[in-house]
Each structure stands twice: as structure tokens, then as C-alpha cells.
Structure 1
Amino acid sequence: MASERVQVFEDSEADSASDVSYFSDASPPRQRRRPRRTQHLNPGYIRVDGKVPPVVHTVEYVGRRNRIFALRQSTKPFNRILESKVLANDQPHVGQGDGENAELEQRPIIEITTHVNSRRDRGHIRSYRRRDRVIRQPVTAAFGNARDYVSGSESEVDDVVSPFVVMRDAEMTIWSEHLKNALKAVVAYYPFFKLSEETLKIPSPYHILYHHRQELSTYRNNQPETHSAEYAATTSAHIDVLLDFLETNQCSGVRKEEELHKLDVPLATFKYFWLLLKPGSVVYAKRYNIWTPYIVSNIISGGDGQSIKVNGWLLESGGARVERFMESFTVPPWLGEQAISTLPVVPAAYWKDDLEAQNGLPMYEKCVAEGKMYWDLLQGPKYMQYDGHLVESGDRGRHAGGPCGFMSSRVVCDIAGLEKFMNMGPPSLDFAPPSPRRERPVRPPPKDHLPKSRPRCTCDNCADLRPAGENYSPWFGYEDLDPTRDTPPDDDLFYVLLSNTVPGFILGSRRWGHLNIAHLKPVETDKNAFNSLMIDEDIKVTVKALIGQFAANADGMIKPWGNDFIKHKGDGRIFLFHGEPGVGKTCTAECIAELTGRPLLSLTAGDLGIDSWRVEQNLNYFLDLGQRYGALVLLDEADVYLERRRARDIDRNGLVSVFLRALEYYRGCIIISTNRVRAFDKAFMSRIHVALHYKNLRNEDRERIWDNNFERLKRDSGGKVHVSVAAKDYIWESRDVRDLTWNGREIRNAMQTALALAEAESAEEGLDKITITEKHVRAVVKLSASFKDFIRDSMPDDTMSS
């Protein structure tokens, strides 16, 4: 028979109600005042054969002022809870034991305590027994919801149950110092849970204990050599008591859950999902719609049937140093069993690999590779190629805003630059250099403390012993790193936890965006593009001699423009390319960028605006970026900003002055293209270092441009696209083509249109190979001729001639 002890002290506050509070022991502790025992209650423990049993179950009845006015103790779990008035009939049990002082000298190894608040008025107390049929549940279900729980008949502690009580979750108190030291030796990381507390209390369902069952079992037979035989035996015995209690407490549910985890398709139930969320373990959750690895910090449960909040952290740059950033993920409840790999938070051990989506690598290896790239990008701005969808970071959070959708463009990955330049753009949305905005940031969960050393026993013998070798925790050196100075930990887990997204400046759209590292790759520059330019050889030689000295590093690391020339103003180089449209001015700038391996920052009037104050702000913004990235800045068709000043046009004069002042102090390389050089202001003409004139194309030049387009099309398509001999003969010999006098840009557009027609025809016929025939070229020539005839007939002669 189980022994039991009852103590009652009548209190006028006994029958008040209090709120039920559910919480997880793996979550930050909630500040809740613990009940206080009245002075009339004996603090001793029940005894069996004169000894305090290793496990004592206690029910404490709490009054209005948080005072304990009655308690019950037993060696078995309580299946039914009495109301305070019913306890009055059990007065003969009070005072069992050998006296207060004797009992204070002995305590159980563990004590399971449940606090009960009565809801009945004192004048209406009566016994009550549930009569409706209820499914049998584990004994701890009684502590979760008294109204829905009725135990089986096997319990030896059987009393009248009351539906008019409110119970808090059970709480375990570990009194054994041996057991406390054992936990300190095996728990490496469990945030917001202090094992150093003098009174160690663990709320039900005892997450920390279930998460470390295996470690405790291993430690039982592998204790430090400093332990004496007696101390080791006692520790082993106390660990056995705890493990036996855990096995009995939720044995059937936990055992069944762990069997589900071992199936070919691992399953989990919501009730026991926390078993897979051990703090310190790696899980995958979606951030910005990308599966991202996190270290579990803690979990917070709202109670039965309510969502679980999983708090985790990853490593990311805060601009200058690598820091830990916390994130929260909500796991909504589900009925029955569900495949673990389909849940919003997936433990790494149960991740289902999709090699096609993971670039042919297992998920863990993919994360390691991306983490190493992220660390490499932290060293400074890097010139990269991006092909894929931009990260949709939304309007909230640390990385809010930015463009989205598919993008194929050269980019400069610049983590530190985002913090500096994101707010430097002008306030107007019409012409502002786009930068991610930060609106209503989501408040992250509190950051936990990262342990610096591994867990160890703190008994008297072990506390004075210095650990042999390094005793750093697995996460030592993970945070507060300066990427430009500090050496990263030699640990794959460090790289796994580094962010898989990076901010970057998109050169094609001149906007800041958030990039998925999986879509980044090194830039493959076309060094032969410059040789294919259809311009005078003298111009080629001049440009190559002047620009070739500015070649960038081969590894893609940015080489900023520096003080390579005279100090202060006039440090840069300004090139002027002038000539008719389509003769190769812009193409020359693009080929120079390929030749030197430097980014090309191409600006138009749409990027700079038209008001003098806006132009100054935007131009300085882009020139600062050009200086930082060592970019070639192309001001395409800059006529509007550099026309000669007039005495009565103050706005025009201010615009030109702003432009001249900005160019005066730029230390990099600027290329200005125009087809109206005669309208330029004289002050600007004196600032040009090299002016190159592009002559109109001859028929021989056009034939070479066609040939270059044919070769490029064949090379880029991998031989999939073929141009028929008849199509080439028609292009070279037809008078219709010659009379159009296409420039280089028009030839390229015609080639793309003919390719589109050929692709459509091949798709209709189900052919894999695409052939551009004479028919396709004739169709393009006919359309172009008709359009030019219409323009010539509808526009005045003076407009056409200008």
C-alpha cells in the first residue's frame, strides 16, 4: 500500500480561484510568485519504514493570497484531487513522521508538486464523483485538466474528485545534489534554465529531462575518475530513480512516439513534437520562403491544443561583425500523425533531401558550401553573377523591402555597404535610388546566453580539478566575429548556421536587393568581346592602353578606385564617346568592363532626375557606389546635363554646375556617351581626358557585325541554333538589307526578332534544333522597311536630319 500524509489548516482565503498558467521548461521562465506555506504546516516529508522515499508526490492547496493552507503527500501519483473541505475528514493523518527537525534532515531525491486552487464557495462544498465515461490517460493528465481526467482502478491513492478546482502543471523539485551535479555534467545548452539554482525546479512535462535521458544513462556508467566509489554508486542510484520516474510518467506516449520516429516515413504527433526540438539541435525552417538552418534555443507552448513557438538562432552580419540573430516560428497543432518532413519546422535528422533543388548536394553539405561563400562575401564587396529569384523579404523584419521576382544580372554583394548606403538615396520615390526600407520591424525573441565551456560535474572533487585540454563549448567563438580580422571556427556547423541570403547592389536595375546565395556564381567575363568591336583600330588601341591598367582582381573581389593619380580633385579619368546612335559607343563601354573585369554602372536620366538638387543627390550617391566598387560609370546620352549654359536659364545653369562639380571630385573612371557633342558646355570640354569619335558604319562593318552575331548565337546556344546559308546570303547580298543602313543596335534587334520567329516555328513543329531561314530574315526586313517608310513620310525633314 502507498503511504499518504495529509495536513490541513483552515484559512478564509482557501477557496479563491487563480488563473491556470501553462509553460514549457525550455522557454524563458515566466515571473510567477510561488505559493507560500503557512506557519501551521509541517514542512517535513512522509516516511516509509522510517525513511523518506526517493520520490514523493505532493499536492498543495493554495489560497487567495498565494498561501498554502493544506497539503497531501504520497509515494504514488494522485489520480484524483480533493477539495479543501473534504480534507477536513482526513485529520487523523496529520503529524505522521518523526518530527519536523528529523524530517528536515532527510529529503526525497525528487519531489513532484501540484498546486491546487479551489473554485467553490465555502458554504457549498460537497463531494462529487465523475460519472461520465472518459478515456483512460497517463497519470500526469490529472495535472493538466482535472475535469477531464479519471484514472483507472489500479491506483492505490483513490479519493473523491472535485470538478471545482484549478490545478497548475506539476513541478519537479530535485533535492539530490548528486542528481544536480549529474545534470550539470550532461546538459550542454538549455537557455533560460538555470542548473545552478539552489532549489532546482523543473515544470512538467520535464522537457530537459526527457531530452537528456540518453546522456544521463551514459553518464551513469561513465562518471569522472575523481568520483569516489561511494559517490559514484549514489549518483548511479539517483539517476536510476529519475529515469524510472520518467519511464513511468509518460512511458506509453513517449515510447509510442519514438516508434513513430523510426518508421520509413517518420511521423510525429503534435502532443510529443517537443521531443524532437532539443535546444542546441539543428532544425530547418523557412525564412523569406527559403529553407534555412537554425539552432533551437527554446520552445514555448501555450498549452493543450495550442500552437508551439520555436525560437532559434542563426549567424548573420550586422554590418561590421557576425552576430547571432533570433527568429521565432509557429508550429500550429494538427490531429493524428503527420510526416515530420512536411512540418513547418523540420529537425535536421528528419530532413528529406531533394538533390535537384539542392544543387545536387545533401542539405547539410549545401548549407556548409553556402556558409563558406557567405563568409567569403563578408571580406568585402564582391562582383558576382546572379540568376534566379530575388529573396522576398517582405515589409517587416531586419531585411525589409527590396525588389522581387526573377532576375539575371551582374551584382555586387556588399553586406557592409547596405547599412551605409540604404538610406542615402533622395526622399522622392520617383527617382530615388531604390534601397530596402525598414518599416515596423518584427521584435525578435530575447537572445539567450551562449555557454563558453562544456558541461562538467561541480561536486567538491570535480570543482577543484582543471579540465584536461580545451574545454570550450561547441559554440565557442561563433559570435561577435570581425570577418576581416578574425579566423572562423574550424567547424562545419559554424558555416551551416551562417545566413543563406546576402544584400547586394543589382547593376542592371541600379537597385539594392536581397540575394539567395544558391543563385550566385562567379562572373565569367568575355575577354574576346573587345576584339569583336566594329570600331577603328586606332580607337581600340587607345582605349585598351588607357583602360587596361585598371584591370580588377581575377577572384571577383572589388578593387576600389584609389588615389592612383594626383591627390584630391581631378583624381579620375573622364572619357567621351561621341557619334551617331548604334555605332558602338555603349558597346565599347560594356566591352571595356569585360576586358578589365570591373562592374559597369550604367546611368540614364531616369536614374538621376531633372531637378538640380535631385540630380546632385542621386549623382553623388551613384558616384560613391562607383568609387566603392571600382566600377566603370557610364553616363549614357548625358546631353541633357551638359548642354551649354544660357544667361537666362537659371535651372539649366544650376544643373550643369552640379554635374561639373560632381565630376570634378570623382576619383574613378567615367565614360560619357552622346550624339550631340556640339551642344556641350565649354567648361565640361576642358575636363575631358580622352574624346573618341565613332564614325558611321560602312557596309563592310555591318557584315562583320552580322558575322559576330552569328558566332555569338551559335556559341551561346551550344549549337542548338543554326543560321541557314540562304539566310546569310540574303543578308550579305540583298539590296533590301543594304538600303536599310542598319546600325549595330538595329542589327542586334533584327537578329533577336528573327530568332524569335524561328523558335516559334520549331516549337510548332516539335523540333529540338532551331534554324533561322531566309524567310525569317525577310519578314524582319519587311517590317523594318515599312516602319522606316512610315516615319519618313510622317515626320518633317528637319526632325529627321537632326
Structure 2
Amino acid sequence: MVPNRIKYGVEDNVKKLYEGPQKCSCCINWVEEYPDNLRENLLATNEVKQHAIVTKYMRNHKGDKPLVLHSIDIQSSILKVVLEEVFEGYSGITTGLDNLSFAAPFQAFFRRLDRLEEGSRNRDDPKALYQTKLLYEIINNELKESVEIFKDLVAHKVITFEYLWALFTPGEMIRTEKDRIFLLNDADYGNSGGFTLWVRFIDWDGTQFGYDRATISIPKFDGTRPITDLEGYPASFDPGLDGVKATLVMKGKKFEELQGFHYMAHRGMVVEANAGVWSFGSETRHVEGRIIVDAGSYFRFNPHEVKSLKSLDDQGKLLEIPGMLKNTDIHNSTFTSSYDAHYGSYNRTPREVTKPYRYSDDRPLTDNELILCTQSVRGFSLKTKHWASFAVADISNIKWDENAFESLVLPSNYKQLILSFVEGQLHYKDDFDDVIEGKGRGIIILLAGVPGVGKTLTAESVAETLRAPLYSMTAGELSLDATNLEESLTKILEISTKWNSVLLLDEADVFLEQRSSSHLERNKLVSIFLRMLEYYRGILFLTTNRLSAFDSAFQSRIHITINYPPLSSSARSQIWRNFLLLAPNKPKPSEPLAPDISVSESSAPPKAAGTTSDVQTLVPDSHHTRVETHAPLLTSISEAEIMKLAEIDLNGRQIKNVVKTSRLLARRLGKSLGIEEVNTVLEATSPNLLSESIKNEIS
């Protein structure tokens, strides 16, 4: 005979079970009778399974009550339907489970007690109404004291550590002291003794927007704390929340606009992702200068920081909390963020890999999403040559020097020739190619001359005129080991091409010198450099002090060679004027860096040289300087004094340094820059260059 099948939750009553003698170390022995008269464990018995609700009590080892409610099991299918309505949108609760259990202190019921009460009064089904009333009476009796205490605390806008669990509701917005807003996934007491908030925010990984994860830790404290003094607290307690939201929406829009890659200016602290351009490490420093915002390249060259973001559209059921975004339960996912680790005081846990999600560019972020955006972007500092995270608030549009190329004293036909090459390369790089596909698409310009005559300034001025990034490097920044050189150069050429950069290699002699049988290692470097240039698709300026030592193989690869002769007196006077014009004004962070020098050239036509039709060598005449009309000098130095200063044999870089030091001296003395300060600096730094007549003239 087949026994009757047990029907779960059909009896309209409550079954009490009690903690009995311990039988194992991993679970509690639940019994039917009061612990003074123990019987066998009854959880698995048919009689227990028939009850709609099972409450479990355990011995109380502190306090006045001998027993405390441990947990509640919901076995009634009717009651589970009711609870589905009560917990609609509540993260982490699936009411349809066969084993639906709630453990003390019953945070979920605490947050939805009003809904449960409403359900206990408004039910068409008498059986559902009765079972809901039973559950409400149990929960209300258990939470009544906690509710009263919590309401009293909140009325005074304070909280105790013991009642933090009651303060936070999954799905609500969390405000932090850093004027950030996060979305709460979960909150609980941690093993370390503190209280942890698992939150999420919106980030960009180079191809998509999505949710990333973080944790906020609240250390254990005694007594009460103002709610708004917590490391993280419900945003609804902030009286200025509307203003904070408005500010975050604006910052979020700026963050959204910075997807892709952008050439920008920056002034502020950064968190560097590595100790070198392509190496690991981390460092915080102040950076003022031009940057490239490019999260895609950041993660490509820093694969240890690659992110997995959760889809913005994977919201799950929605929480009915005013002003809150809706969420899914992802509190087991984790995240590491360099910028927020330094600036947000949020403790991170290791990242969990999830399936990538591609964001649709057709859907802009909503205001509710914009306020959750991180406040940093990733990219590259052209000044420090480091990948880093930059605060969105510290990023601005570049204030271009509209006269950069005009102030370069080169003959106009030289300028037009240089610009025609580089502009053509930027806009029509695919129109010219070698017989072998991929070769010969770059433009290489060689600038030759002694230090301080204007080589670097030429490249800077071209980049400024084209509004293109200038990636400047020296031979010292590249490895002299053949294997490492190829790896580093490959990466630099790759990103320079992607960013349409003007690439400048200063002091390139070591890679361009004539090969010989006695220097095999250097021969490798030259060969690698030659091969890499063959396939480079961008604009490259090379500077050298020793043109005569070049390997002959480079001659056919260089499109223009400009020889810079030593500066003439008239050229130096022009440089003095240029830097004295800048002297009273401190450069702004978004302005281009002051050029190394300004060079004086003639307007004589260029002379052709080389073996191919696209190779030209330009030799400016330093004795016939074309001087433009200049604005009045904002110093007390006269034109006659400038002409005397020009007789001193200084190069452009030295003149810049003298003016800079003189300006600092004048500022220290509380006066405008005059010839006395310049004379003091010259006598201290270049006494051997000053003749007695010059000393007398400028003193």
C-alpha cells in the first residue's frame, strides 16, 4: 500500500521547534518540545512539513530571554505567493524556493514590514489572509522593539553600530564623503568587526559602459554617530542631495563624452598604472600638461587591470524607492580601482570575471546613470610618459597657441613645405604606399644642428598648428638592448599612429650612426630602427647634432632634412624678445609648454639634395634674419639692452633658462624684471661669455 503523499503548508497554524542537544558541530538540533524535555530532531518529520510556518528558537546566551527566535521557514505555497508581492523587487530573495527561510535579525522583513501588514489586512482568500496574519504577528512581535529603537535613532539623525543593518536597503543610493553616489547591492557585518557596503558604479572599459563593483567599510564604533558622518550612508539623509545630483549629472556627462580617445589638458593629481611606460607599478603624483584619454589603449598595455563590467540593461526586478536606480544582486562580484583606492577610501576585493557586454552607442546614459559614473578616466600623460587615471574634474580643453608656427622664424616656403607633408600624412596617409603594402606611408623629417637652435621647437610648433599630440622621446628613454628596443618602439609607434601623433625622437644619433663591423650591437639597433621606420604610418621628427655620422641607408628614408646653423646675433635678439614677452606671465596648465628656443632663418629658397625625388635638404641662412613685428615688452629692459644681450654667445635654451631664472629673482625681490636681474644671472652662470664692454653696457 502506497502511503499518502505529504501536503506542505496546509495547516493554518504555527509550529514551534527548539534547539536541542548538539549532535554535530555544523548545525543545530531542532526539537519539538521545550529544551527541558527534549525529544528527537523533528525537522524531517512528516508532521512538521505540514505546517505553513515553522519557527526555530535557540538558547539565548545573553540577555533576559531564555530563548530567541533563530529563523523562520515558510512552507505554505499560498504564503509564498503573498511574500512574492511583499518582496517584489527586493534583491536576493526568491520566494518560490522549496526551502524558503529567513534568519534573524530579519532585515528583509524590517524593510518591508509595512507591506506585510497591508497584506495581513487586505486578502480576498481567507486562507491566505489568515496565514499572512500569523506571519505578521510573529514578525511584528520580533521586530517591534527594534523598530521603535530604530525610529528613535533616525528621528535624531544618528545610528549605532548595532543598528547599521537596519539603515541600509539594497537598491538605494549611497552617499559618501567624497561627493560620490553609489548603488547599494548588499550590506552586512564583516568578519573583521566592521560593517561592509557592497556597492556598484558605472565605468568605461574602452568599448562599453557597465557596472563595476566596490566596497565601503564602516569601522566598528561605540555609542552613536551622525548618519551623515558615516563613510557611506543612504543618500536620502543628505539635505543637499538635489544639488549633489545636479553636480554629478554634469560630471557624468563629461565622463560620458570622454569615451573613445581625446587629446586634452590636465592639472592635478594622478594615479599612475605603472612605474614606466610599459612596466608595472603604481605611483601618485601631480601632473600638469597634455594627456591622451584612451581607456582602450590603457587596458591594452596594462592587461593586469582589465575590467569586466556588468551590463547596464541587466537590471532585474525594479525597486520602488524614490530616486533610486534598480539593481540586481551582484554582491559576490568584486572590483579593484587604482584611482578610487587612492581617493575614495573604499576597500576593494579581487575582481570576478564576467561575460563582457558591449554598450550601445545609440542609447545615451540617463541622469540616474550619470550620477553613478566614476569620476576618473584612464589614459596617457605625454609629459611623464606614464599610463594613469585622471580625475574628470582636472581635465579641460586645450588652449591652443594659435601663433605657435607663425612665431617660428623659418622662411614661409619652408613652413609651407613642412606643413604640406605633415597635413597630408594626417589626412591622406592611405593614398601613398610603397611597392610592398604597408611600407613607405610615414613622413620622416630630420632636423640637424647644434643644441638650442630650434629643432625641438619646430616639431612642437608643427604639432600645435595641426592640433595633434606631440609624443616626444629621447634615445635614453628607449632601451639600448636590441630585443627591448624593438618591443618598446613597436608599442610607441602603434599608439602614435592611433592617436595621429607627431612623434619626436630627440638626440637620435645612436640609432642613425653609420654601421661598422666593429660595433655589432649598435648595428643591431640601427637595423631595427631602419626596419621599424619602413612600416611606420605616422609623422616622425628626428633631431641630431651629428649629421655627418649618419648611416647612408637613412638618406633615402628621410623626406626632408633641415640644417640649423648656429644662431646669429639678430636671431638671438629675436629669442630674447620672445622670452621676455613671456617672462611676466606664468603659463597656464592648459597652455603648451614654452618652446626650447626660437630660431632665425632666411627666406632663401630650399636647395635639393639626396637620391630620391621626395628628399630635400633645407639650409637656412642664419645671417639674414626676418624679424616680425612684436608686441611691447612687459619688462623694463630696453631695445638697446636686448641688442647688447644678443651679442652674448648663448643658444636658445640657455636664453630661456636665463630669462626664467631672472624672472624668479625679480619676483623674489618684489620687482618687475629688469636688466639688473638678467645681469646678475649672467654673471653667476656664464661669466666667461661676458666681455668687459658687454658687462658695462648691461650693468
1:330 corresponds to which of 204, 217, 220: 217
In 2, Cα distance between equivalents of 1:394 and 1:598? 25
Name which one, 1 or 2, has greater alpha-carbon Rg: 1
Residue 594 (str. 1) matches residue 464 (str. 2): yes
Q: What is the aligned partner in structure 2 of residue 727 from structure 1?
A: 637
Matched position secondary structure for 1:365: helix
Indicate conservation of the 8 Å contact 1:723/1:772, yes or no.
no
The residue correspondences of 1:399-414 to structure 2 (distance < 5 A) are: 401-414=281-294
Residue 87 (str. 1) matches residue 37 (str. 2): yes
1:482 corresponds to which of 358, 366, 379: 358
Indicate conservation of the 8 Å contact 1:578/1:676, yes or no.
yes
Matched position secondary structure for 1:197: coil
Q: 1:334 offset after TM fit, Å?
A: 0.6
Taking structure 1 as reference, are residues 676 and 248 closer, same or farther at Cα in structure 2, changes over 3 Å only?
Answer: same
751-760 or 323-332: which moved more? 323-332
In 2, Cα distance between equivalents of 1:717 and 1:486? 38
In 2, Cα distance between equivalents of 1:746 and 1:691? 25
Matching residue's letter, 2:110: Y
Matched position secondary structure for 2:94: coil
Residue 665 (str. 1) matches residue 535 (str. 2): yes
Taking structure 1 as reference, are residues 70 and 188 closer, same or farther at Cα in structure 2, changes over 3 Å only?
Answer: closer
The residue correspondences of 1:98-137 to structure 2 (distance < 5 A) are: 107=51, 110-115=53-58
Q: What is the aligned partner in structure 2 of residue 679 from structure 1?
A: 549
Residue 621 (str. 1) matches residue 491 (str. 2): yes
Q: 1:205 offset after TM fit, Å?
A: 0.9
Taking structure 1 as reference, are residues 237 and 207 closer, same or farther at Cα in structure 2, changes over 3 Å only?
Answer: same
In 2, Cα distance between equivalents of 1:403 and 1:598? 28
Matched position secondary structure for 2:647: helix
TM-score by length of 2: 0.75
Matched position secondary structure for 1:311: strand
Taking structure 1 as reference, are residues 193 and 44 closer, same or farther at Cα in structure 2, changes over 3 Å only?
Answer: closer
Matching residue's letter, 2:37: L
Q: What is the aligned partner in structure 2 of residue 24 from structure 1?
A: none
581-590 or 643-652: which moved more? 643-652
Q: 1:502 offset after TM fit, Å?
A: 2.5
Indicate conservation of the 8 Å contact 2:505/2:542, yes or no.
yes
In 2, Cα distance between equivalents of 1:455 and 1:342? 26
Taking structure 1 as reference, are residues 238 and 500 closer, same or farther at Cα in structure 2, changes over 3 Å only?
Answer: farther
Matched position secondary structure for 2:406: helix
Indicate conservation of the 8 Å contact 2:170/2:186, yes or no.
yes
Q: What is the aligned partner in structure 2 of residue 415 from structure 1?
A: 295
In 1, Cα distance between equivalents of 2:280 and 2:383? 21
Residue 779 (str. 1) matches residue 680 (str. 2): yes
Indicate conservation of the 8 Å contact 1:284/1:347, yes or no.
yes
2:153 corresponds to which of 260, 275, 296: 260
Q: Deviations 1:450-482 (Å, cap 9, x if unpaired)?
A: 5534489xxxxxxxxxxxxxxx96779x99542
Q: 1:388 offset after TM fit, Å?
A: 0.9
Q: 1:67 offset after TM fit, Å?
A: 8.0
Matching residue's letter, 1:276: L
Taking structure 1 as reference, are residues 521 and 312 closer, same or farther at Cα in structure 2, changes over 3 Å only?
Answer: same
Indicate conservation of the 8 Å contact 1:192/1:448, yes or no.
no
Indicate conservation of the 8 Å contact 1:391/1:501, yes or no.
no
Q: What is the aligned partner in structure 1 of residue 402 from structure 2?
A: 527
Q: What is the aligned partner in structure 2 of residue 277 from structure 1?
A: 168
The residue correspondences of 1:181-192 to structure 2 (distance < 5 A) are: 181-192=81-92
1:508 corresponds to which of 380, 383, 390: 383
In 1, Cα distance between equivalents of 2:423 and 2:646? 36
Q: 1:319 offset after TM fit, Å?
A: 5.1
Q: Deviations 1:76-132 (Å, cap 9, x if unpaired)?
A: xxxxxx6x4x327x9xxxxxxxxx999987x45x5432245xxxxxxxxxxxxxxxx
In 2, Cα distance between equivalents of 1:71 and 1:760? 88
690-699 or 336-345: which moved more? 690-699
Q: 1:168 offset after TM fit, Å?
A: 8.3
Q: What is the aligned partner in structure 2 of residue 758 from structure 1?
A: 666
Taking structure 1 as reference, are residues 534 and 562 closer, same or farther at Cα in structure 2, changes over 3 Å only?
Answer: closer
Matching residue's letter, 1:771: S
Indicate conservation of the 8 Å contact 2:8/2:49, yes or no.
yes
Matching residue's letter, 2:316: K
Q: Deviations 1:281-323 (Å, cap 9, x if unpaired)?
A: 122458xxx66543222223258x9322322223334554444
Matched position secondary structure for 1:316: strand
Indicate conservation of the 8 Å contact 2:319/2:327, yes or no.
no
Taking structure 1 as reference, are residues 759 and 714 closer, same or farther at Cα in structure 2, changes over 3 Å only?
Answer: closer
Q: 1:752 offset after TM fit, Å?
A: 1.4
Indicate conservation of the 8 Å contact 1:402/1:514, yes or no.
no
Indicate conservation of the 8 Å contact 1:190/1:298, yes or no.
no
The residue correspondences of 1:37-76 to structure 2 (distance < 5 A) are: 58-61=17-20, 63-64=22-23, 68=29, 70-72=31-33
Taking structure 1 as reference, are residues 702 and 234 closer, same or farther at Cα in structure 2, changes over 3 Å only?
Answer: farther
Matching residue's letter, 2:143: Q
Q: What is the aligned partner in structure 1 of residue 201 from structure 2?
A: 314
Indicate conservation of the 8 Å contact 1:311/1:445, yes or no.
no
Residue 230 (str. 1) matches residue 114 (str. 2): no
Q: 1:324 offset after TM fit, Å?
A: 3.3
Matched position secondary structure for 1:333: coil
Q: What is the aligned partner in structure 1 of residue 64 from structure 2?
A: 150
Residue 348 (str. 1) matches residue 235 (str. 2): yes
Alignment size in residue pairs: 603
Matched position secondary structure for 2:32: strand
Taking structure 1 as reference, are residues 236 and 593 closer, same or farther at Cα in structure 2, changes over 3 Å only?
Answer: farther
Q: 1:788 offset after TM fit, Å?
A: 5.1
Q: 1:709 offset after TM fit, Å?
A: 2.8
Q: What is the aligned partner in structure 1 of residue 245 from structure 2?
A: 364
Residue 700 (str. 1) matches residue 582 (str. 2): no
In 2, Cα distance between equivalents of 1:785 and 1:575? 33
Q: Deviations 1:8-42 (Å, cap 9, x if unpaired)?
A: xxxxxxxxxxxxxxxxxxxxxxxxxxxxxxxxxx9
In 2, Cα distance between equivalents of 1:779 and 1:691? 39
Taking structure 1 as reference, are residues 571 and 495 closer, same or farther at Cα in structure 2, changes over 3 Å only?
Answer: same
Taking structure 1 as reference, are residues 536 and 148 closer, same or farther at Cα in structure 2, changes over 3 Å only?
Answer: same
Q: Deviations 1:121-144 (Å, cap 9, x if unpaired)?
A: xxxxxxxxxxxxxxxxxxxxxxxx
Q: 1:746 offset after TM fit, Å?
A: 1.9
Indicate conservation of the 8 Å contact 1:390/1:516, yes or no.
yes
Taking structure 1 as reference, are residues 490 and 649 closer, same or farther at Cα in structure 2, changes over 3 Å only?
Answer: closer
Matched position secondary structure for 1:249: helix
Q: What is the aligned partner in structure 1 of residue 102 from structure 2?
A: 202
Indicate conservation of the 8 Å contact 1:179/1:235, yes or no.
yes
Q: What is the aligned partner in structure 2 of residue 358 from structure 1?
A: none
Q: Which runs of 5+ in 2 are unaligned?
A: 1-5, 40-44, 330-353, 589-631, 692-699
In 2, Cα distance between equivalents of 1:595 and 1:511? 25
TM-score by length of 1: 0.66
Matched position secondary structure for 2:575: helix
Superposition RMSD on alpha carbons, in Å? Answer: 4.3
Percent identity between the aligned chains? Answer: 24
Matched position secondary structure for 1:546: helix
